[in-house]
Structures are given as C-alpha cells and as structure tokens.
Amino acid sequence: MRNVILIGFMGSGKSTIGKILAQQLKLNWLDMDIEIEQSEGITIKEIFEQKGEEYFRQIETLHLKKQLNKDNNVISTGGGVVLSEENRSILKEIGTVVFLHANSEQIIENLKDDEQRPLLREDNVEDKIRKLLDQREANYLNAANIIIQTTGKSIENVVEEIISIL
C-alpha cells in the first residue's frame, strides 16, 4: 500500500493516531520526530537549543527524503514539515497526505501543559499557537490530499474516518 502521511499542527494527534492507524492497516509506523531524535542522539528540544531551528529543518528534510521510493508506512510528521515548498512536494511524492485539522481551542487545550515543544517556550503560549496556526493553515491545506476534521472526535473515530476515505 502507498504510504499514508499525517500532517497537522503540534498537538493535533499525529503520533497517537498514526500508531493506531498503522496497526489497523497492518503497515509500519514511523514517527519523524522520533527518527530524528534517534539519529541525532538528543531530543528535539535539545536540537533546537544546541543547533537551532534551521539545522532541525535541514535534518527534517533529509529524513523525509529517505522515505522516497518506499511504501507500506504510516508516517507521523512534525508540525512544521509543511513550511517549505520542497517538503510539501516531497510529501506528495511519498504517499497520501492526510491533514488532521483541529481547531485552535482544541490545540490550545492539548498543548497547555506542554514542556517539550521548543516553539512554545513563550510567555503567552495561546497567542503563539494562534499566530503559528494562522501562518501555517494555508501550507497544511496546500500539502494535503485528504482533510479530516478531528475536533470533538475520538481517536478511534478519526482512525475509522481515515480508513474509510483512503
């Protein structure tokens, strides 16, 4: 089966949903942030702190390219993977791109106690989330083949919906 790639904002459930989706479709599950942490030997937070966001974005693109010409994977991506035009076109080549769309209230709720995400280390996290969502919305829509509204739905429902559309 062609790869299924989950995109969406931080806290939209890409990892949780990806893992279950892979089990149900009997595909492998691959989480890009975990892959990056394993290959770099430090956490995403540490990569941002020690090497900067630009370095992280380069590594992210390298890991994405590794998936070209592979199949049978469900791939959970990092929320910023859609930022570059290059990544957006690689995503489409790799497989079917599913955008998990949660509304800002849901995302704020999911991320309010987060300590790990470097982009949210700000005094006013809510403002930062709204700002990033505004900046990125068009990129998610542009990269997606399928859009799934997740707000208020259970994980199981979202997984079922994705499977019914694929």
Measured from the CB atom, the residue of 83 and 146 that comes closer to ligand S3P is 83
Shortest distance, position 104 Cβ to ligand S3P, whole Å: 14
Of 59, 130, 60, give the one whose Cα is nearest residue 91.
Answer: 60
Shortest distance, position 27 Cβ to ligand S3P, whole Å: 19
Exposure b/e, 41-53, CB count within 10 A at least 16 = b = eeebeebbeeeee
> Cα dist. 52→49, 73, 102 in Å?
6, 29, 28
Measured from the CB atom, the residue of 11 and 95 that comes closer to ligand S3P is 11
Q: What is the rounded distance in angstroms from the CA atom of residue 132 to the CA atom of residue 119?
A: 9
Measured from the CB atom, the residue of 21 and 33 that comes closer to ligand S3P is 33
Shortest distance, position 143 Cβ to ligand S3P, whole Å: 13
Query: Tokens 């280390």 correspond to what residue?
Result: 121
Shortest distance, position 33 Cβ to ligand S3P, whole Å: 5
List contacts with ligand S3P (CB under 6 A): 10, 14, 33, 44, 78-80, 117-119
